[in-house]
């Protein structure tokens, strides 16, 4: 599993590193560096990529870096068609996506830059929960807690039914 995450995040940043390395070691003077870099894909990696892009553009103001959020699958589709230079991903590239890249003559290197995590935090003012089982937080992620239905799954014998809120990074 750890190896899959490494590969997944690698796709996201290999492009960034490759593009920046090419720009940095370019024969052209760094002050004359110009062009564009198109990045798209996972919202999970977006904030990190946007921050890197802003800093890169401060150093190289004649390079336009655009960062989009079309999701991992959408980003891979654009990347495989040659529409983007870098694909942000929150999972490894699928065999069908890899095949599409090969078919279009696109080679890539996966570069892990971060790992997703879940932090379970209990407010000190909480007076109804003094422990959680491993299964209880797990019940609140994945298919049961999606964009369409972000209701928490709770054990009614252990937890009251107050309005509980989840935080997600999507728009």
pLDDT in tens, 118-130: 677 777 888 777 7
CA 165 to chain centre: 23
Residue 127 has a pLDDT of 78
Exposed, middle or buried: residue 67 (CB in 10 Å: 0-12, 13-18, 19+)?
Answer: buried
Helix (H, G, I), strand (E, B) or coil at 95: helix
If you average pLDDT over every residue of the chain, what do you get? 75
Place of tokens 């003012």: 125
Does residue 133 have a pLDDT over 70?
yes
Residue 10 above 70 pLDDT? no
Token pair for 38: 């198109």
pLDDT value, residue 146:
47
Give the sign of the dihedral formed by CA 84, CA 90, CA 91, CA 96.
Answer: negative
The CATH number of 2-103 is which of 2.30.42.10, 3.40.190.10, 3.60.20.10, 2.40.50.140?
A: 3.40.190.10
Residue 83 is given by DSSP the state S
Mean pLDDT value across residues 20-36:
61
Per residue in 41-56, pLDDT (tens digit) is 998 889 999 999 999 9
In this predicted structure, the answer to whether residue 19 has a pLDDT above a threshold of 60 is no
pLDDT > 80? residue 40? yes
What's residue 170's pLDDT? 47
Break the chain into its structural domains and give their ranges.
Answer: 2-103, 118-166
pLDDT digits (tens, 9 = 90+) for 62-81: 999 999 999 999 999 999 99
The most confident of 87-91, 99-103, 165-169, by mean pLDDT: 99-103
The predicted pLDDT at position 24 comes to 45
Q: What is the DSSP letter of 66?
A: E
Q: Which tokens hold the place of 94?
A: 């699928």
- pTM for the full predicted model: 0.59
**pLDDT > 70: what percent of the chain?**
60
Closest CA to 71 of 49, 90, 99: 90
Let me know: does 14 contact 20? Beta carbons within 8 Å: no
- Cβ 65 vs Cβ 57: under 8 Å: yes
Residue 87 is predicted with a pLDDT of 95
């Amino acid at each position: 599993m750890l190896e899959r995450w490494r590969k997944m995040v690698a796709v996201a940043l290999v492009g960034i590193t490759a593009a920046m390395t090419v720009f940095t070691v370019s024969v052209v003077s760094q002050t004359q560096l110009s062009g564009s870099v198109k990045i798209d894909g996972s919202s999970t990696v977006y904030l990190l990529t946007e921050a890197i892009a802003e800093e890169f553009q401060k150093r190289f103001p004649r390079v336009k870096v655009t960062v989009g959020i079309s999701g991992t699958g959408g980003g891979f589709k654009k990347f495989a068609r040659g529409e983007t230079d870098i694909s942000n991903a929150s999972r490894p590239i699928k065999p069908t996506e890899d095949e599409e890249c090969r078919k279009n003559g696109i080679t890539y290197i996966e570069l892990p830059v971060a790992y997703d995590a879940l932090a379970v935090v209990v407010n000190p003012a909480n007076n109804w929960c003094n422990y959680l089982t491993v299964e209880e937080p797990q019940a609140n992620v994945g298919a049961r807690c999606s964009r369409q239905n972000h209701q928490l799954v709770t054990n009614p014998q252990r937890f009251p039914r107050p309005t509980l809120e989840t935080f997600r990074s999507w728009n």
